[in-house]
Every structure is written in C-alpha cells, then in structure tokens.
Amino acid sequence: MAIKRCDYVWVDVFAKRAFQGNPLAVFPDARGLTTRDMQVLTKEMNLSESTFVLPASRSSSADARVRIFTPDAEIPYAGHPTIGTFFVLARDGKIPLKDGKTVATMEAKAGILPVEIFSRDGSVTKVVTVQSKPVFGPVFKKTSLLAEALSLRLSDFDVASAPPQLVSTGLPWLIAPVRTRRAVERISVNQQAFAKVVKGLPKGVVDIYATALDPVSEAATSHSRAFSLVSGSMVEDPATGSASGCLGAYLVNKGLIDVGASNKMVNEQGFAIGRPSKIEIEVRTTKGGSIKSVRVGGSVVEVMRGTATF
C-alpha cells in the first residue's frame, strides 16, 4: 500500500503567545487526500477542528478552497479555523501581502467568504474573517432546562432583557446570556440535561455559548464559555470565532451595548481551562440599524510544524 505524506502547521488562534487561544492544525496542501483521510487526520490531531487547503474550484475566484473538519464531521464554516488557515497561507507566501490590509477570499461549504489579513513590514499582525449576515432563530424558552444543563440557577438568567436565542453567522449557536461572570465561571455541565437541550434545537446544532457582560479585563466587553456535545462527550472550546460573531450580532440586535454604525467589542474566553483568549468582534450596521456585516478577528502564533505519514 502506498504511503501518504502531508505537511501540517500547528497554530494557536486568538493568542499572542503559544499555548493560549485555540489550537488548530492546518494542512496547507491537501491535494491527494480523500475525505476519509481528512477525517482520520482530524481525529488523530484530536483538536476541535483541522483544516485542509485545496485549489479553488474553476468556477470560483477564491484564493483557496478550505475544508474544515471536527473529529466527528466536516462543517460548513468556523471562525478560528478560517483565521488560522489564512495566517499560515499568508505567512508561507501563498497569499501576496500589501502593507496594511490585504483582502483574500475563501471558498468553503458556507460559500465564498472574504478574509482580511493585516500586516506590517511583511509580518501578519491580525486576521479577520467576515462572517455571513446573522440569522436569528427562535428564543429558547425552556430556561429551566438550560439552567439545569449548565448547573446554574434560574435567577442567573435575565430572560426579559437577554433571552437565550439561536443565532447563526455561518454556524448556529445557542447564545445563553447570564447576569454575571461568576455565573459563567460556576458552570458545570450536566450532560444528560445538555443532551435534552440539544434535542430541542434544530438538527445538527450541538453548541451552547454562555456569556456575561462582566469581563475580567476593562478593555473587554464580555466573558464567555463554549460547550459542545461531540461524539457523545462534552467539550469546552477555548476560543470560538463563529460563536463570537453570533454573540456580537445578538448584543447589537438586543441593544445590550451602545449601538452605532460600527460596534467593536472584545470577547474573553478560555480562562476557565487555562487558555485565555481575546477575540475581536465588529458588527457594522446600516443607518436604519439593521446589521450589514459581522467581523471576527485576532492574532495567531505558530507553535510547530510536522509531517503526517500514513
């Protein structure tokens, strides 16, 4: 049997130094890999996601086609994999950079999406993913069940001003605002109740994003934790770009922050699991107040490189 070899780059996203933020494995040249190969390699990496870069389709003018996998399945879009992947492509010279901002495009299952790469003197300083316009799903009315799933009290929620709600800017999340950072820190997942919450969500939605407008840093807006039911087990994600975009859209939509034409926020995540992360969010609105774009970005650091042989 022929042996396959494929190089990968391991990066930490939404971090300024190694071993913080959210780790990602990027396979910058996935030509020759089958879908099964990609899924097996993602399971082997044992991270929340891995990405595989391919030439863009002939019908697409994108700079790269990116396939994003969790250990369970391929997904249409995710924030930190997009940011980490384009950091690697830009750093390796596969995307020519202009000093300042370079706009690239990614072909993903979710569509053709722009990615903004910021650089200075040839070094990448920040990558921003432009997400899809938000889609607001139904309010989740079983707050008692949600509280049980997170081992919180019903009084930790303010359903009148900030009801739990399904939001998607490319990947749907149940946004679950609570009153205080201490409530976020106190969360301990009850897997049985969590599974019941998931059963009440649309098919394929397995994620809850708990958040409070009570951050550690004075420069931040929110303090959050992300929980997912993956392969029958609970996983806490240290930094979630897709959920942060949903959160930013939610806060603007509900008027929970001072809303203007450009609404910039910093979302903290990962503190509870020793991987502090700072996620930058910008939600732009029209004069009428409707949301026209959601951007999520941050810094990335390279941790290691290697070759998978199988």
Distance CA 226, CA 231 (A): 16
The DSSP letter of residue 28 is: S
* Tokens at 235, concatenated: 């996983």
Catalytic residue among 44, 49, 116, 185: 49
CA 185 remoteness from chain centre: 20
Q: Is-catalytic flag, 282?
A: no
**Burial of residue 71, with CB atoms counted within 10 A of its CB: 0-12 exposed, 13-18 middle, 19 or more buried:** middle
Please report the beta strands in 14-164, taking only residues with DSSP state E, as ranges in sequence order: 22-27, 50-54, 64-69, 74-75, 100-108, 111-120, 123-131, 135-139
Q: By the 8 A CB rule, do 131 and 296 touch?
A: yes
The DSSP letter of residue 291 is: E
Q: Which amino acid type is present at position 114?
A: P
CA 85 remoteness from chain centre: 13
Residues marked as catalytic: 49
